[in-house]
């Protein structure tokens, strides 16, 4: 059974963007590595991100503009937003479900989400559109305190969240998705990029998009402490850890939709612990 990593869980605080404007949606482009300062590495560790291999990268936004920030493993953020992100609480190591400090709050709980269908390389293909529809259904059928209103089109500037195809990651041979966390104002992450899934089933597309929406409303990887789903040994978080969601068990959960790596036989559905976590937060 093949496992594929989610390339990037990125941009805490203000999503992919520098100015918090919704129209700035990012896709990564290759750049030469630049040195990351000790201060930045210490801040990465304080928020629960492995600083090993951290580097500076530039990302191209959907409108053609660019933003530069720090990339470490499956995390990306501008330096400014990274340094403003509060450190995670201590304790709760090796627990099952995790969330970020920021969640979707207040008037932001009705989320207008659009599948981008522009006649260009960023437009969603048929499987990605189906996966998005099924992913939104996954959340809405739970009758949570957040609701998604899905449309398809090109008017993404007026929406709360946009899902689009990333040709740059696909050209680099990557498969999966990239998203961010809610910002400090309680708004969901805006941009979700999907790539390299054309050869997989509608269920795999559904799984990846459901997973990335999960990040966008505040969920971290279920196996953040071990990255067992990727065959790795976890990420160092120093004395800090992610915030455990009460009511979810400890240990490895092989069927959670929020695992760091996904299987090509994924069903795209939440398991019981995912539902427990969603109902606790929303």
What residues make up the domain containing 173?
3-85+94-281
Residue 187 Cα distances to 72, 97, 171, angstroms: 24, 21, 31
CA distance 145 to 111: 11
pLDDT band at 196 (very low <50, low <70, confident <90, very high): very high
Q: Which of 140 and 168 is assigned the larger pLDDT?
A: 140
pLDDT tens for 53-105 read 788 878 777 777 787 888 775 567 788 878 877 665 544 333 346 666 788 99
Element (H, E) at 68: strand 66-72
pLDDT (0 to 100) of residue 234: 52
Q: With a cut of 50, say whether residue 26 has pLDDT above it.
A: no
Q: What is the CATH number of the domain that holds 257?
A: 3.40.390.10
Indicate the DSSP class of residue 230. G
Question: Please, what is the Cα angle at 72 between 96 and 263, to 5 degrees?
Answer: 50
Number of domains in the chain: 1
CB 178 within 8 A of CB 100: no
pLDDT tens for 127-139 read 999 999 999 999 9
**Positive or negative: CA dihedral 168, 160, 269, 251:** positive
66-75, 125-134, 158-167, 251-260, range with the lowest pLDDT: 66-75
pLDDT (0 to 100) of residue 257: 93
Q: Which of 58 and 242 is assigned the larger pLDDT?
A: 58
């Amino acid at each position: 059974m093949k496992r594929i990593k989610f390339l990037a869980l990125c941009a805490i605080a203000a999503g992919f963007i520098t100015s918090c404007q919704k129209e700035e949606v990012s896709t990564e482009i290759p750049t030469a590595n630049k040195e990351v300062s000790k201060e930045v590495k210490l801040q990465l560790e304080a928020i629960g991100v492995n600083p090993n291999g951290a580097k500076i990268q530039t990302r191209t936004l959907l409108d053609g503009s660019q933003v530069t920030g720090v990339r470490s493993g499956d995390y990306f953020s501008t330096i400014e937003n990274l340094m403003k992100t509060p450190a995670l609480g201590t304790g709760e190591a090796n627990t099952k479900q995790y969330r970020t400090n920021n969640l979707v709050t207040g008037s932001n709980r009705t989320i207008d989400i659009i599948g981008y269908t522009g006649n260009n390389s960023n437009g969603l293909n048929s499987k990605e559109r189906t996966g998005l529809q099924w992913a939104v259904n996954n959340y809405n059928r739970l009758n949570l305190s957040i609701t998604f209103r899905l449309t398809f089109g090109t008017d993404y500037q007026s929406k709360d969240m946009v899902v689009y195809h990333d040709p740059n990651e696909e050209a680099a041979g990557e498969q999966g998705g990239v998203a961010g966390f809610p910002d400090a104002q309680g708004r969901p992450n805006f941009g979700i990029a999907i790539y390299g899934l054309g050869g997989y089933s509608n269920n795999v597309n559904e799984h990846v998009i459901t997973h990335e929406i999960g990040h966008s409303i505040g969920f971290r990887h279920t196996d953040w402490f071990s990255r067992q789903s990727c065959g790795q040994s976890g990420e160092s978080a120093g004395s800090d850890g992610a915030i455990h969601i009460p009511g979810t068990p400890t240990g490895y959960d092989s069927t959670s939709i929020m695992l760091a790596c996904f299987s090509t036989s994924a069903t795209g559905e939440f398991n019981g612990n995912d539902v427990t976590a969603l109902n606790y937060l929303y």
